[in-house]
Structure 1
Amino acid sequence: MNQHILMIEDDSRLAQMVGTYLGQSGYGFAHAGDGRTGLDAVQATVPDLVILDLMLPDMDGLEVCRRIRTLEGARAQTPILMLTAKGDPMDRIIGLEIGADDYLPKPFEPRELLARIRAVLRRRADPTPSSTQMLRFGSLEIDGDARTVHLGDKPCELTSYQFDLLLALARRAGRVLTREQIMEAVRGRELEAFDRSIDVHMGRIRAAIEDDARNPKRILTVRGVGYVFAKQQD
């Protein structure tokens, strides 16, 4: 069965172009022209990925992203690729912080959009392998099979990519990793341009798993190098 892409975008000409290109590449495609219609489509169809424009006529893309992440079941985990205005890093940072998996500035080349879609879907279909399926660090529990994280009895909400980043660090607890090593561990394939946003994802992970994200005890920054996951925790 073809993977199904939903594009929430008010520019119908752009959506038609993207739909034609993705259709030629073997993807199913649907288009919603505003946020409310898009949310209804996510509820009804559970797409494999959502391409979400930041600027919509009825609500902004950030609000749509927030609402998708509060839906029940698999819908809340739907990968989201956000389209942002070129040269506006704050929108991209906020989008990643509230749960977008990737971003792409407008205008964009269709080939780059396709590459990013494939990368996000590949991470979902082929997650980071784990030789130790259940990892425990004090009150933090990471289940590699179920792809869930709990801090005590509280579930930690992470995107698929953020889970993979956390798992890659946790499996190498005590070892300082550069950003490039972390990304290579997650993918084991070619690096992608958006990986410069890894620091934003780390901030999101800390907000989910740390008792105090401003004073982290689990994921530590090694200035000028990268990150280390602490072996000894509470």
Structure 2
Amino acid sequence: MRVLLLEDDRELRRTLRDALAVEGYEVLTAASLADAQALLAHAREPLDLVVLDLGLPDGDGEELLAAVRRHESLPVLVISARQAEGQKIRLLDAGADDYLVKPFGVAELLARMRVALRHRGTRVSAALTDYRHGRVHVDLAAQRVRRGGEPVHLTPTEFKLLARLVRQAGQVVTHRQLLRDVWGAEFTEHTHYLRLYMAQLRAKLEDEPAEPRLLLTETGVGYRLAEPDEDAAPPLMPS
């Protein structure tokens, strides 16, 4: 899922970008109205949702909402410190799917994004971001992997592949989905990449790499990460 995040506050923009990335979103960021308009006009792939602030250095986010609504049916979620009821009503009537007043929790933002997407026919479940199975612990928010309490060094691609499986632990993820999400849409036929990197992950995480119990093959379909332990800690949400 590709999200355009328009927010001029650098720290908040970084915090939201990182939190959305942990959940598996691909995030395009803009700090001004002009930047956001350029990203919308020249996006190489379709966007799935827009999160926009109102008070910007070169205009008002309301202008972007009007532009999106003229050409797109994208869900738009407004985030703003402005609390006036009249403005909220005007923006909702103008086509905003939701209006979230700052300060807010990241968990609430993610939930409202899922609702906005669901209303447009796209069902998105909350991603698992803290995974424990046997001696393996993966914390996506901290980008940390441990086995038997010891840190495991993964390459960026290995971590990205593992993270994609963690977010849907217990479910089969097809070869095509993994290749598209980890390497890009142009690599969806390169299944040898998956075989190579899955072998590397198993060598680092499995007790018996030749007889995997964590990273499971679904023959002819894809791969599945074993379900997390029932007594594992609940998923951690960025704050």
After TM superposition, the score normalised by the length of structure 2 is 0.48
Question: RCO greater where, 1 or 2, for CA within 8 Å and sep 6 or more?
Answer: 2
Query: Which structure is larger by alpha-carbon Rg, 1 or 2?
Result: 2
After TM superposition, the score normalised by the length of structure 1 is 0.49
